[in-house]
Amino acid sequence: MTVDVEDYFHVSAFEGQFKQQDWHNLPLRVERNTYRLLELFEQHNAKCTFFVLGWVAETCPNLIQDIVKQGHELASHGYNHQRALTMTPEQFRDDVLKSKDLLETAGSTEIIGYRAPSFSVNESNQWVYQILRDIGFEYSSSTYPIHHDLYGVPSWPRFKYIREEGIVEIPIPTLRKNDANTGIGGGGYFRLYPYAFSKRRIDKFIAQENQPYSFYFHPWEIDPEQPKVEGVSFKSRFRHYINLSRMENKIVRLLQDYQWSTMQDVYFNQGS
């Protein structure tokens, strides 16, 4: 189970609506929503990897401490949700190192995992892996091997593998059919489809691939009362707001139907 800890105003689709210098003046909802997730995980004896923005760690240090206290894994989502594809190597290093330092200070724990905002790693910026390795990361979960208008490299590996830089990459899960990959890892796909349909696809992945399954979503996805952002495209508005009111119940059903633990425990400690 993984959660990308960011607020509604951090998402890539709203980059044109919010400037970073204005974030502190906007209604903060990520702290409350993440505490709700901590309650749900505790109720269902589930452990999670929280990929947290450094900005959130800086703004809500007590939240970071509580994530660690409850036995979850703390990992990095970069500092300010800037996509890796939009940064130079120097900017990327500064961004990720800043997030790592903030998270390790707030959580008093070593950070070894990273997820790029919007899965923004492809053939053009594979240099990110060497930088991650150089500053102490052991794994990344930054690729989604599907066709998508915003991200994805369909030809890249579908399962955990060790890159030549010495870092492990753990892609988001997909189903393979007719020489094409379909995303089944969570997020908007999970909100869009009925729960029974998503569960069938998860079960099919587990049965066919004999691989661990990982799920991702965001705290804002259980928050139907979040402010409505004006001036965005219909596609972005649909993707962001579809079925928010149903998401928490779907998460509860996931927690009831499967056993969940951290990336570190499932992919490393259990030898998968």
> Which residues 6+ apart lie within 8 Å of 65 measured at CB?
106, 107, 108
Confidence at residue 272, expressed as pLDDT on a 0 to 100 scale: 47
- The helix-helix angle for 30-43 and 244-257 (nearest 10°) equals 30
Phi, psi of 114 (to 5 degrees): -140, 145
Q: Which residues contact 169 (CB under 8 A, 6 or more apart)?
A: 129, 139, 140, 141, 142, 143, 157, 160, 161, 162, 163
Q: What is the mean pLDDT of the chain?
A: 94
Domains parsed from the chain with CATH numbers: 2-269 (3.20.20.370)
Q: Are 96 and 79 spatial neighbours (Cβ–Cβ below 8 Å)?
A: yes
Q: Kindly state the DSSP code that residue 104 receives in the 8-state scheme.
A: H
- How far is CA 68 from its chain centroid? 17
Q: Taking residues 115-131, what's their average pLDDT?
A: 95
List pLDDT tens digits, range 135-190: 999 999 999 998 655 655 878 999 999 999 999 999 999 999 888 888 899 988 89
Q: How far is CA 1 from CA 136, 210, 216, 254, 267, in A?
A: 23, 17, 6, 10, 12
Q: Residue 161 in contact with residue 142, Cβ under 8 Å?
A: no
Q: In this predicted structure, what is the pLDDT of residue 148?
A: 59
Asked if residue 69 has pLDDT above 60, the reply is yes
Q: Give tens-digit pLDDT for 217-269.
A: 999 999 999 999 888 888 888 888 999 999 999 999 999 999 999 999 999 98
Beta strand 180-183 pairing with 139-140? unpaired
Query: How many whole angstroms separate alpha carbon 73 and alpha carbon 263?
Result: 8
- Contact indicator for 248, 39 with CB cutoff of 8 Å: no
Q: What digits encode the pLDDT tens for the residues 11-57?
A: 987 877 888 889 999 999 999 999 999 999 999 999 999 999 999 99
Q: What pLDDT band is residue 75 in, cutting at 50, 70 and 90?
A: very high
User: Quick one: CA torsion of 165, 85, 27, 70, rounded to 10 degrees?
Assistant: -10
**pTM to 2 decimal places:** 0.95
